[in-house]
Amino acid sequence: MALMITDECINCDVCEPECPNDAISMGVEIYEIDPNKCTECVGHFDEPQCVQVCPVECIPINPEHVETPAQLLEKYTHLQAAKSA
**71 in helix, strand or coil?**
helix
pLDDT digit string (tens) for 38-77?
Answer: 999 999 999 999 999 999 999 999 999 999 999 999 999 9
Nearest to 43 by CA among 13, 15, 81: 81
Report the CATH number of the 16-84 domain.
Answer: 3.30.70.20
Q: What is the DSSP string of 1-25?
A: --B---TT----S-SGGG-TT--EE
pLDDT for 65: 92
pLDDT for 80: 93
Report pTM: 0.92
Q: How does DSSP classify residue 64? A: T
pLDDT for 85: 77
Locate all alpha helices (DSSP H) within 30-68, ordered by sequence: 49-53
pLDDT for 49: 98
Tell me if 70 sits within 8 A of 78, measured CB to CB: no
